[in-house]
Chains A and B, each alone.
Chain A
Amino acid sequence: MSQTVQIDPILLGKVSKPARYIGGEWNSVVKDHGAVKLTVAYAFPDVYEVSMSHLGLRILYALLNERSDVAAERVYAPWPDMEQLMREQNYPLFTLETKSVVKDFDILGFTLQYEMSFSNILNMLDLAGIPMFSKDRGEDMPLVIAGGPCAYNAEPLADYIDVFCLGESEESVQDLADTVIRWKEGGRQGGKRALLKQLAALQGNYVPAFYRVSYNENGDFEEIVPLEPEAKQQIDKCVVADVEHVYFPTKPIVPNIDIVHNRAVLELFRGCSRGCRFCQAGMLYRPVREKTPQRLLELARDIIANSGYNEISLMSLSSADYSRLPELVDMLLTEFKDKKVSISLPSLRVDSFSVDVAKKVQQVRKSGLTFAPEAGTQRLRDVINKGVTEEDLLAACTNAFENGWSTVKLYFMMGLPTETDEDLAGIADLAYKVLNLYRSITHKNNGKVTVSVSSFVPKTHTGFQWFGQLPVEEIRRKQEYLKSLIRDKHISYHYHDATTGYMEAAFARGDRRLGRVLYEAWKLGAKFDGWSEFFDYERWLEAFRLAGLDPAYYARRSRDVQEALPWDHLSDGASKAYLQREWQRSQSGELTHDCRHLPCTGCGICPTLSVHVIDNEEGRTVEKTAFSY
């Protein structure tokens, strides 16, 4: 049985937004722990408003709670004022549903969405009273598991997590639950170690304690060797072959306070094979698998009825690529015509078609449109395989301005491979072209262009995983240079401090030794590092010094395409040869087409994992010949 925490409501009333810690939301699920066989605490290492906006954990939460033998609950990172109260009052970390202490759960599952949230994982373990290091956790402690995109480079967290789960978990989480229940019912035979061995044998599971890592005399990563027969040399991700019938929650938790994305969400499809070379999600979630418009309509109807939301967001990595988008939008508009439910598209493709769809769904509100050309010149856009031209952008903006929009937001990246000052000047140039287009179409001077430029962080499992990130000083110089080129009060220019991107890059391609850095940073007080008000660059540099490591080695070093990488054993199904080929093609600006409607490009994911592209337009059952480089 789990102990519960009694929180003094008077003290709780003094922290900011106490409702973050109360639960009781509509559609949240409260179960009696005595009546289930397995308890799972799902943790998102950020504040409530961010955590509750994440679809993945909501899916797993609802899915496990469908089972009568499992109770799944939620726990998020307490904001520092609440943390202080918890430490003063000795309140251990507790779940929202039953206020049970997290330490008493069978499983504590973290989602790893961004590297800068890692410090919060350590802090949450500490607040829970759970020994931080996996090796120090006894038989009475929960099994600590983690999934999400950052699990593909698990090594910096290897000392803290018992099992990493790669890929989509809708199916595999059932196996996980069954395995743990069977082990518990069998009297926990062989202890946690035996359980870990059983889990290691299942697809997608990585138990880092079952491997030995070695480094060569230069200190470079050399190899990772399994130490147990169940531990595989390569961990393949789990993937749901057909997302049409996979579980999707139609009773979403409706928060009582406003959150970042406070609306109903409909997932149109998984995956994106446009092949932008900087994009990790584009590799990790392949292949593209669409749901049918009919299924989406059914889901939308239920989700809206069960939540009361007045907005439904059509989500995917690139929603405008949904092959039946106009048809779906018409169906939804008809369905919700008299119900005051609006439809929103979180991202637009850079073309006129997308604006046509936006026109349809945003019939009254003309808030700004956002496009992501990513780079300022055609040359560089070809390097990154962003199949977008200046004509596409101007056609999209023409359509927007002719239809009443006056604000356009443009997203770019800085510090991309082969980038020169000319490419940065191209960003300013595009912004001016868009603004002048507005002036010539509307004969008005009230247009607004926002240019938002982030600094590029090379990620694993992409064609750019070998690229050394530019030094902070060089990024700053580039930021200032671009600033000097934008001198119109109708264009606003936004960028972030480069130091966060530098630390993110170190962890994004880190190895197991970085676990020590995390620990030192946590001891120095690191938390909420994704929040600029809490991120402290000097603290992180100090943590690296204390661990005897250099962040530049991880972030800035260009890797040799032949060298062994600390994440080679964690596979999304793509072959390394394919990524090497992408890296080489990028240097000469050669494009690689999208395999969604054209022949296979040989990334290897479909043949390796026995899955295939499912696109309504191509015919849902047509399997194309796939190969792997």
Chain B
Amino acid sequence: MKRLRLAIKKEEALQFLSHLDFARVVRLVVVRAALPVCYSEGFNPHMKLSFASALGVGVSASVEYMDIELTDEIPVTDIISRMNAVSPNGFAVTAGKYIDEKAPKLMAIANYSVYLLTGPTNQALSQAELQTLLDRFNAADQVLFEKVSPKRRKTHTVDIKQHVVEPITGKAGQQQVELTVGILQTEEGSVKPVEIWDVLGSQYGLPIMTDRMLACRLGIYVRKDGLCHTLMGEEL
């Protein structure tokens, strides 16, 4: 068994897919590319394929990773061209590397994501005003937020600053604002891009609508001791 790690994209027509639908689209690409993929045993065999994260509806990603188990080692460049030749609009494989069979799962190591959040502003916002507002957020020791857990129907208080460890940067446009936000997943969990958007609107006066935002994930990393490493095992 050979384990291959691929860097992929979820964009354009696919950005509005749920994780489940996206995973099915990718499985179909693998089948059409006729890769010698491994399946689990049992009555209902499933393809040995896993992702670094579960991207929600509306969240696009210019970088996502997946691991796939193959019965034979085929040159990475062949794999990439074969998959890209049979991919729908919005999916692409950008890089690949065979990794150790026993390497930890992507899901277990990926703990830092960088997002570009874009949404319309509902009043004029200058770059200076945006910067002042972000500076205030970036300098705060603690930013508390009531997180609602839909399953348990309970709320608990989360300190967003435990997860946003790098300063947020932003660009004020004519009628919209763009923010670049890194989110760290800790043992306590994580926060969603929309929650940060919401807090900047409700607590810091960013003139936005809390439910009007698109998130694009620019990168996903392993963050250790303040350093980000790509999931391909290289340091940045």
Q: A10-B119, A13-B57, A18-B57 are in contact. Are A26 and B87 (CB under 8 A)?
A: yes
B213 partner residues in chain A, CB cutoff 8 A: 10
A364 touches B214 (CB 8 A): no
Asked whether B98 is an interface residue with its Cβ less than 8 Å from the other chain, the reply is no
Given contacts A19-B13, A24-B14, A256-B25, 14 further A-B contacts (CB under 8 A): A10-B119, A13-B57, A17-B16, A18-B57, A23-B13, A26-B28, A26-B32, A26-B88, A256-B13, A305-B34, A308-B27, A308-B28, A340-B45, A365-B44
Could you mark each residue 105-121 of chain B with 1 if its beta carbon is under 8 Å from any beta carbon of chain A, else 0? 00000000000001110
**What is the interface of chain B, defined by CB distance below 8 A to chain A?**
12-17, 21, 24-25, 27-32, 34, 39, 43-45, 57-58, 86-90, 118-120, 211-214
Q: Across chains A and B, which 8 residue pairs bring their CB atoms closest together, nearest first?
A: A24-B13, A24-B89, A308-B31, A18-B16, A308-B28, A13-B58, A308-B32, A26-B88
| B45 / chain A contacts, CB cutoff of 8 Å | 340
Q: Is the interface of A mostly helix, strand, loop or mixed?
A: loop
A9 surroundings in chain B (CB, below 8 A): 15, 214
Tally of contacts, chain A with chain B, CB under 8 A? 75
| Contact surface of A with B, Cβ cutoff 8 Å | 9-14, 17-19, 22-26, 254, 256-258, 305-310, 340, 364-365
- Set of chain A residues within 8 Å of B214, measured between Cβ atoms: 9-10, 13
Contact of B21 with A256 in the complex, beta carbons under 8 Å: yes
Chain A residues, Cβ within 8 Å of B44: 364-365
**Candidates A12, A305, A307; contact of B16 at CB < 8 Å:** A12
Which B residues are CB-close (under 8 A) to A11? 212
B28:A258 contact, CB within 8 angstroms: no
Residues of A within 8 Å of B15, CB to CB, are 9
Selected contact of A10 from candidates B27, B89, B120, CB within 8 Å: B120
**Closest B residue by C-beta to A16:** B57
Tell me which of B14, B58, B88 contacts A254 (CB under 8 A).
Answer: B88
Tell whether A19 pairs with B28 under 8 Å between CB atoms, given A24-B12, A26-B86, A340-B45.
Answer: no
Please measure, in the bound complex, the distance between the C-alpha atom of A254 and the C-alpha atom of B31, giving whole angstroms. Answer: 13
Contacts of B16 in A (CB 8 A): 12-13, 17-19, 22
User: Is the CB–CB distance between A19 and B21 below 8 Å?
Assistant: yes
A146 → B minimal CB distance (Å): 29
Residues of B within 8 A of A258 (CB): 21, 24
B86 neighbours in A (Cβ, 8 Å): 26, 308
Question: Closest residue to A262 on the B side, CB-wise?
Answer: B24
Which residue from chain B places its CB closest to the CB of A253 in the assembled complex? B88
Residues of A within 8 A of B89 (CB): 23-25
A17: min CB distance to chain B, Å? 8
Contact B212 A10 (CB under 8 A): yes
**Chain A nearest CB, measured from B23 CB (Å):** 11
Residues of B within 8 A of A18 (CB): 16, 57-58
Q: Which of A14, A307, A364 contacts B28 (CB 8 A)?
A: A307
Q: Are A254 and B28 within 8 A (Cβ)? A: yes
User: Residues of A contacting B24 with CB < 8 Å?
Assistant: 258
* Max count, chain A CB within 10 A of own CB: residue among B15, B31, B120: B31
Q: Give chain B residues whose Cβ lies under 8 Å from the Cβ of A256.
A: 13-14, 17, 21, 25, 88
A15: nearest chain-B partner, CB-CB: B16
Write out the residue numbers on chain B whose beta carbons fall within 8 Å of the beta carbon of A14: 211-212
20 A-B pairs within 8 Å (CB atoms) are namely A10-B118, A10-B119, A10-B213, A13-B16, A13-B57, A13-B58, A14-B211, A18-B16, A19-B16, A22-B13, A23-B13, A25-B13, A26-B32, A26-B86, A308-B32, A309-B28, A310-B31, A364-B43, A365-B43, A365-B44
Other-chain contact of A25, B29, B88, B119 (Cβ < 8 Å) = B88
